[in-house]
Amino acid sequence: MDTKNRLKDDCLTSVNSAVLSSIFLCSVMSFSVMANIPDESPKELLQTVPAAAQVCLSCHGVNGEGLGVVGPRLAGLSSEYIAAQVSHFQTGFRQNPTMMAMAMTVQGDNIKVVSDFFAAKPVAEIKLQYRGDKVVIDDIGEKLAYQGDWQRDIPACTSCHGPSGIGAGQFPRLAGQEPTYLKNQLLAWQSGTRKGDVDNMMGSIAKKLTAAEIDALTQYFSAQK
Amino acid sequence: MKRYYFSAAGVLFSMSISAAELPDRQAQLPSVAKEANAQYLMPSPLSSIPKGEFGDKVRKGYQLFVNSQQMRDTYVGNELNCVNCHMNAGNKANASPLWGAYMAYPAYRKKNDKVNSFEERIQGCFTYSMNGKAPESGSEPLVAISAYSYWLVMSGLMNQFGITGPVPEMTDVELLKGGNREDFPLPETVTSKLDQKELTMLPGRGFPKLAKPELAYSVERGEAVYQAHCQTCHADDGQGYKMANVSALPPLWGPQSYNWGAGMHRVNTAANFIYENMPLGKSIQLTVQQAWDVAAFVNAHERPQDPRYKGNVAETQAKYHQHEGFYGKPSSINGPELLGANAYPIFPVSKQSKQ
């Protein structure tokens, strides 16, 4: 446990310095991650991580499992979605100081390498809920997820994100994602600091959500694990 | 307003579809232009469906509608769900709501003096849109979908006219007929305000009729529209995205989509639908021209065969396809071969059931 925490702290420090300084420091950081990980991970595991993906591990975990508030889960996302997000951070469609700096370190063919690597990581199987399984839904998050609110032209989340929000293609998995991350993303869509969706589809939905609904959706989808 | 009814009835009666073994149960009903400031029916929330046997049928209808894949291989032969085209579980105005359709049937045809009941119309959905097999007359799915449709329209009318109390129950036989008939039981408060013709043409029924495009629609331009606006959800090959074995985002052509007999294969119907309802939850994002072009692009691909096909595409085309569609014609997407010549099977056995 101590080693793990130390590793986490080291990485966080490194992340901060990278943000404050330059891309050069990012590569220093990724070096420090490489130097640290063998302490707790079997060598074989590390060898399966492509060099270009090393920079991601400190915040997203060796298996893309996510590290709480430090970084969201990447496992369960499609390769094409991850690749699009890397490019969105590079072009400013998405705003996050750390990720904007980190994304710049992944360029060209490496974007696909990194995306494929995390997309291939397994997620735990969950009990799936399909549309119509419940007719009357009391929880406002679950109700929006399966029925939407068409009085305000809000479609059911699961009509694009799939049963239980497991996602595919350009529609990210919501099931089991970090709650803080989910909430921040809905807020970012709402305020317009996150963009890059075709025809502003997600942005226009998020703008209609109330604060209570964002909390309820966060709660609902993060609990699907 | 009144003029619409007469011209609409004219279109309906002038249809000359043969009543061979398989009637055209997706015959084009008149679509009308959208009215500004229209007041749409507001059915009650699902939570007010009553307990008991009648309520159970209504609930079942809702469930079959949003998850039609539970009928895969029994009555459904593709990956579509009713809700893919009838948004908000068949409740959304201008997305062919069930409450509008229920009041339009039974529909009469002068040509053969035949009455098409609501039940028969739903059977048509299974045969064509779902590329499946029509459930037997009076069977559970037809009763359930009819009960759900009836409950939507009746609760909506009762809400509109301030009538309190539960939605009156009806027998299965009555439910299956539809609401366009003189002996259809309606509260007097409703019939004193709306006559039968008005009830068959409730605002928001069907897909609103789109203006003609400035230029003749083009598959090539449609492809560019598709790539820019549709591909994210329906994928570059038009096959949508499957999640947990469900095509959450539905296939638009190919073996898992609606067949050549479905209403949506007509370019005008698809253009009406797309313009009003796509992308999901946004509505009216494309220009009129773009909607026609992309409707042509989608429908210029091969799909499952027309169930009325008897071995000759040209004959089927001549008999059933005298409308805006690509069946029996070449397309720049499909190549010189006539569409329909390599159509996919009708009601195929799915991979899942083979295992």
pLDDT of amino acid B353 = 47
Query: Min CA distance, A134 vs chain B (Å)?
Result: 8
State the pLDDT at residue A200: 92
Distance in angstroms (rounded) separating the CA atoms of residues B34 and B15: 23
Number of CB atoms found within 10 A of residue A129's CB: 18
Cα dihedral B23, B24, B26, B28 sign:
negative
A-proximal residues of B, 87-106, CB under 8 Å:
87-89, 91-92
- Chain A residues inside the 8 Å CB shell of B232: 169-170, 197-198, 201
Q: Which residues of A touch B66 (CB under 8 A)?
A: 131-132
Q: How far apart are alpha carbons A137 and B46 in whole angstroms?
A: 9
Q: What is the rounded distance in angstroms from the CA atom of residue B39 to the CA atom of residue B191?
A: 17
Same domain, B255 and B327: yes
> B230 burial class (0-12, 13-18, 19+ CB within 10 angstroms)?
buried
Report CA dihedral (B83, B87, B93, B97) to the nearest 10 degrees: 0
Element (H, E) at B175: helix B172-177
Beta-carbon count within 10 A of B55 CB: 18
Residue B1 lies in a domain: no
pLDDT value, residue A20 = 41
pLDDT at B281: 83
pLDDT digit string, tens, across residues B196-210: 999 999 999 999 999
Give CA separation, B69 vs B59, B76, B77, B250, B345, in Å: 16, 7, 9, 12, 18
DSSP state of B127: I
Judged by CB atoms closer than 8 Å, whether chains meet at B229 and A131 is answered as: no
Does the pLDDT at position B25 exceed 70? no
Q: What is the DSSP letter of B42?
A: -
Determine the distance in angstroms separating the CA of A34 from the nearest CA of chain B, rounded to an integer: 35
Say whether pLDDT at B19 is over 90.
no
CATH of the domain at B269: 1.10.760.10
A204 vs B: CB within 8 A? yes
Nearest CB partner across the interface for A169, out of B241, B282, B283 = B241
In a domain, A185, yes or no: yes
Q: Is the peptide bond preceding residue B279 cis, with omega within 30 degrees of 0?
A: yes
Is A204 among the domain residues? Answer: yes
DSSP of A138-175, one letter per residue? -SHHHHHHHH-BGGGTB--THHHH-GGG--BTTB---T
For chain A, the average pLDDT equals 86
Binned at pLDDT 50, 70 and 90, residue B17 comes out as very low
CB contact (8 A) between residue A136 and residue B280: no
Q: Is A155 on the interface with B (CB under 8 A)?
A: yes
Q: How many CB atoms lie within 10 A of CB B13?
A: 13
A172 and A104: one domain?
A: no
For B142-155, what is the mean pLDDT?
A: 98
ipTM, two decimals, is: 0.88
Which residues, at least 6 apart from A187, have a Cβ–Cβ distance to it below 8 Å?
A206, A214
Is residue B47 within 8 angstroms of chain A, CB to CB? Answer: yes
* pLDDT at residue B51 in the model: 95
Residue-number span of the structural domain to which A97 is assigned: 2-119
| Residue A46 CB partners (closer than 8 Å, separation 6+) | A34, A37, A38, A62
pLDDT of residue B351: 59
What type of residue sits at position B8?
A
How many Å apart are CA B167 and CA A35, to the nearest integer? 71
- CATH code where residue A169 lies: 1.10.760.10
3-state helix, strand, coil in chain B (%, to 5): 40, 5, 55
A vs B: CB pairs below 8 A: 96
With tokens 């298996």, the residue in question is A63
Q: Which residue in A has a C-alpha nearest to residue B92's C-alpha?
A: A150
Q: Is B235 on the interface with A (CB under 8 A)?
A: yes
Residue B242, pLDDT score: 95
Structural domain includes residue A124: no
User: Do A108 and A174 share a domain, yes or no?
Assistant: no
* Residue of chain B whose Cα is closest to the Cα of A165: B243
Residues B195, B230 within the same domain:
no
Q: Do B59 and B49 meet the contact criterion of CB atoms below 8 Å apart?
A: yes
Nearest to A168 by CA among A157, A160, A177: A160
Using the 3D structure, point to which of B140, B172, B200 is the last residue of a domain.
B200
Q: Is residue A135 part of a domain?
A: no
Tell me the mean pLDDT in the region B293-322: 97
Give the HSE-up count for residue B8: Cα atoms under 13 Å, Cβ half-sphere. Answer: 21
Q: Which of A125, A149, A153, A224 to mutate to test the interface with B (most CBs of B within 10 A)?
A: A153
Asked if residue B140 has pLDDT above 80, the reply is yes
Mutate which of B63, B232, B236 to disrupt the A interface (most A C-beta within 10 Å)?
Answer: B232
Domain boundary among A88, A119, A150: A119
Tokens at residue B195, please? 């006559």
Residue of B nearest to A170 (CA): B232
Q: Residues B227-274: pLDDT tens digits?
A: 999 999 999 999 999 999 889 999 999 999 999 999 999 999 999 999
Measured between CA atoms, the residue of chain B closest to residue A81 is B232
B253 within a domain of the structure (yes/no): yes
Could you give the count of Cα atoms lying within 13 Å of B182 in the half-sphere of its Cβ?
0
A148 touches chain B (CB under 8 A): yes
With contact defined as beta carbons under 8 Å apart, do A57 and A37 qualify?
yes
- More confidently predicted of B115 and A182: A182
Are B82 and B19 within one domain?
A: yes
Q: What is the pLDDT of residue B24?
A: 59
Confidence of residue B38 (pLDDT cuts 50, 70, 90): confident
Q: Among A119, A151, A172, identify where a domain stops.
A: A119
Contact B243 A163 (CB under 8 A): yes
Q: Are the Cβ atoms of B279 and A169 closer than 8 angstroms? A: no
Among B63, B249, B281, the residue with its CB nearest the CB of A153 is B281
Number of domains in chain B: 2
One domain for residues A167 and A216: yes
Q: Name the closest residue on chain A to residue B286, using Cα atoms.
A: A199
Distance from CA of A111 to the nearest CA of B (A): 19
Pairing state between β B241-243 and B114-116: unpaired
Q: Which residues 20-79 of A are in CB contact (within 8 Å) with B?
A: none
Judge: A132–B65 Cβ closer than 8 Å, yes or no. Answer: yes
Structurally, how many domains does chain A consist of? 2
In chain A, what residues touch B244 (CB-CB under 8 Å)?
Answer: 128, 130, 162-164, 166
Distance (Å) of CA B126 to CA A5, B117, B131: 59, 15, 6
Does B214 reside within a domain?
no
Query: Distance between alpha carbon B136 and the CA centroid of its chain, in Å?
Result: 19
Domain extent at residue B344:
219-354
Q: What is the pLDDT of residues B46-103, one digit of tens each?
A: 999 999 999 999 999 999 999 999 999 999 999 999 999 999 999 999 999 999 999 9
Q: Which DSSP helix (H) or strand (E) runs through B241?
A: strand B241-243
Q: So what's the pLDDT on residue B341?
A: 97
